[in-house]
Chains A and B, each alone.
Chain A
Amino acid sequence: MSGHSTYVPRTALGKWFEARLPIVRLLHDTAVSYPTPRNLNALWTFGGILAMMLVVQIVTGIVLAMHYAAESHIAFNSVEGIMRDVNWGWLIRYLHANGASMFFIAVYIHMFRGLYYGSYKPPREILWILGVIIYLLMMAAAFMGYVLPWGQMSFWGATVITNFFTALPLVGQPIQTLLIGGFSVDNATLNRFYSLHYLLPFLIAGVVVLHIWALHVVGQNNPLGIDVKSDKDTVPFTPYATSKDVLWMVFFLIFYAWFVFYQPNFLGHPDNYIEANPLSTPAHIVPEWYFLPFYAILRAIDFNIGPIDSKLGGVLAMFGAIAVLAFLPWLDTSKVRSGRFRPIFKVAFWLFGVNALFLGYLGSVKTDDIIFGAQAVVWAQLSTLYYFLYFLVILPVLGYIEKPKPLPVSINDAILAKSAPGSTH
């Protein structure tokens, strides 16, 4: 897909570099001449948006680190010092805190795009799995970042989540002790989380490089899900994809700024403005919104399955819900990538989307709340069932029984048919 490089160094400096380190050629091939399918829609701009958010988080994070103190007695007040006394500190901190949420909104759109258009299917399996790894690293980074302000939710969230590991037989307890640096969440936990929170974004950046490398080997998928057949199907990345990416980045920034300037605390929890207190447990411990669907799955398993007690069962279900994504390329047996040509898949997919949102809602309520006449935990069990059915039964079976609609011959053909007079589309 990368094909033959079209870069020709023109200046003397360019030629000098070309003979020693052809980095300009690399950049040119990656961001200028790279052929991109001409039929990409706006959903394909979220990769660029995610790259932008990673940079925003790293830059704001490094500035915050200049003013933050990771010590359990002063951490909370040092964050307040940033909010009150550091020049533009309130802006930097709100950008960073809301930036995490924006990062997850963008990554969820990016992932659902991939799910719908079959971007995980051959030859993009490794590309997809690298994405799952990035997502895992993001979750770890976000979780540890949320602990740093050392508010009540920071502390109790850390306590609940690190407690998951104790569900594992034999190794669980030692793992938890190692993770939090003691027998309960304390200063040692804060210190190591801070260290790891600083490390993870750079690991993410590293995997992003691999992700983009893999992308440039296999080429982008597209809304039709068919392979690029000829040059007629593509346009050069610059200016075509860049002009679109930048436009949608700015749209995304408007959305982001809306939260930062007008409701910076909408996505957070008020209890995190209370300093951590190991002696007082909040009435209702909830994780950040982007973890809520998995939290609902965790709490859905409130029964024992043979030797597996409900706690271990919940933890396995929760990690399983993420791990199953890595096996998706082999679970989906259909040869057709794009959901556009798969009538039954389409229904199952949208149901999956609604189900995921519903799981998020269920994660935010108490398990004994009554919703539509049933306890929330019962709904969570049904939703969890569908979540796994989708990956483990529906996708594998659909490949054999579904009759896909006919695929266009090429991207160019489909575009010509669409713009031809009297066409049905």
Chain B
Amino acid sequence: MTAKMIRWAAAALAAGIALSASLAVAEEKAAEFPLQKPARHEWSFAGIVGHYDQAQLQRGYQVYKEVCSSCHSMKLVKFRNLSDEGGPGFTEDAVKVLAATYAIQDGPNDAGEMFERPRLPSDAFPSPFANDNAARASNGGALPPDLSLIAKARAVHRGFPWFVFDMFWPYQEQGPDYIASLLTGYQDPPEGVTVPEGTYYNPHFINGISLRMPPPIDNDILEYADGSPTTKQQYAEDVSAFLMWAAEPHLDARKELGLKVMLYLFVFAGILYFVKRQVWRGVRH
């Protein structure tokens, strides 16, 4: 009787699936963005013993400062962070000098007036525009997003079954992969595709076929002090790494502590396993 019931249940289920499949209308679906999934890059900070490459962060800061920062703000990062452990490794004196090259409005002073002063290491990176409306007005109506967290705020869905594998072999570099792919992904639109006026076709863009940001980097636009290649690819990777650091400044500390915690927990679990075996020895269960 049981076997018969299971067979009936299975038949009913199969019939239900067939019916629903036939009812389903395979409609034309809206395109999924990005059109092209981000390419996987090699990152020094990937994996369980990963850590930032100090020289790369310094190069990335240079790209950010000379290219990105003319339109994008980075309000959450302060100059002093540049000398924090696990960061680009600037000396404190260098940070002081660097910060002082930018002015900030302070006040009111004793006379009740606002005044300008050089920035201190405790001040945030300067924003290129006075406010969001000014930023939009200068950028064809589009607001260049703040870059403080961009490397964690952009991740392209990998979908089933990849997210299951990602659980066991950590992949937390979606953000930098996306940014590097986007920065190098500009191209001419394919035959028959027209992009809205004032936007640039990029199949890596997460939110449409094109974006307002013009291609920001090209080969040889700036010189690296350490003699690294001055290619578009190199700039893109360096600035992506820098943006990852800006979004997750304590990554090095996290992974370092993680290893110790894991080691401790594994040893502790081993000891507890033998304790449990000893306790239950001779007790049938």
Contact = CB atoms under 8 A, between A and B. Distances in A.
Interface in A372-389: 372-375, 378-379, 381-382
B76 A84 contact: yes
Given A372-B21, A401-B5, 17 more contacts: A77-B76, A84-B249, A247-B272, A247-B276, A250-B265, A254-B266, A262-B48, A262-B170, A270-B152, A273-B153, A273-B247, A369-B29, A374-B24, A375-B24, A382-B20, A415-B285, A419-B284
B172 interface: yes
A96 to B, nearest CB: 15
Interface in A64-93: 77, 80, 83-84, 90-91
A202 interface: no
A274 B20 contact: no
Contact of A347 (B6, B29, B257): B6
A47 interface: no
Interface stretch (A110-118, A235-243, A320-328): A235-243
Interface residues of A, number: 56
A378 B172 CA distance: 33
Given A247-B276, A250-B272, A379-B20, A368 B27 contact: yes
Nearest to A270: B155
Interface string A269-303: 01101100000000100000000000000000000
Interface string B152-169: 111100001000001100
A94 B17 CA distance: 42
Contacts of A251: 269
Nearest to A361: B160
Given A38-B283, A77-B76, A84-B249, A254 B262 contact: yes
B1 A403 contact: yes
Contacts of A347: 6, 9
Contacts of B283: 38, 235, 240
Given A235-B283, A247-B272, A361-B160, A344 B262 contact: no
Contacts of A368: 27, 29
Interface of B: 1-2, 5-6, 9, 16-17, 20-21, 23-27, 29, 48, 76, 81, 145, 148-149, 152-155, 160, 166-167, 170-172, 174-175, 207, 247, 249-250, 253-255, 257-259, 261-262, 265-266, 268-269, 272-273, 275-276, 279-280, 283-285
Nearest to A250: B269
B175 A378 contact: no
B2 A402 contact: yes
Contact of B153 (A247, A260, A270, A283): A270
Contacts of A254: 262, 265-266, 269
A373 B29 contact: no
Nearest to B5: A344
Given A372-B21, A382-B20, A91 B254 contact: yes
A263 B284 contact: no
A283 B259 CA distance: 37
B278 to A, nearest CB: 8
Contacts of B258: 257, 260-262
A239 B278 CA distance: 10
A26 B266 CA distance: 34
30 contacts: A80-B148, A80-B149, A84-B76, A84-B249, A94-B254, A240-B283, A247-B272, A250-B272, A254-B262, A254-B269, A257-B261, A257-B262, A257-B265, A261-B255, A261-B257, A261-B258, A262-B172, A264-B254, A273-B153, A283-B207, A343-B2, A347-B6, A368-B29, A373-B21, A373-B26, A374-B24, A378-B20, A381-B20, A382-B16, A403-B2
A274 B155 CA distance: 12
Contacts of B171: 263
A48 to B, nearest CB: 13
A416 interface: yes
A170 B230 CA distance: 66
A247 to B, nearest CB: 4
B249 A374 contact: no
Contacts of B166: 263, 266
Contacts of A247: 269, 272-273, 275-276
Nearest to A347: B6
B8 to A, nearest CB: 11
A370 interface: yes
Nearest to B146: A275
Contacts of A270: 152-155, 174-175
Contacts of A370: 24, 26, 29
A243 B271 CA distance: 11
Given A90-B254, A91-B254, A274-B149, A265 B172 contact: yes
A273 B155 CA distance: 11
A246 interface: yes
Contacts of B253: 90
Contacts of B145: 274
The interface centre, meaning the residue of B6, B20, B24, B284 with most chain A CB atoms within 10 A of its CB, is B24
Contacts of B155: 270
Contacts of A192: none
Interface in A165-212: none
A253 interface: yes
Q: 5 tightest CB-CB pairs across the interface, nearest first? A: A261-B258, A374-B24, A273-B153, A270-B155, A247-B272
A39 interface: yes
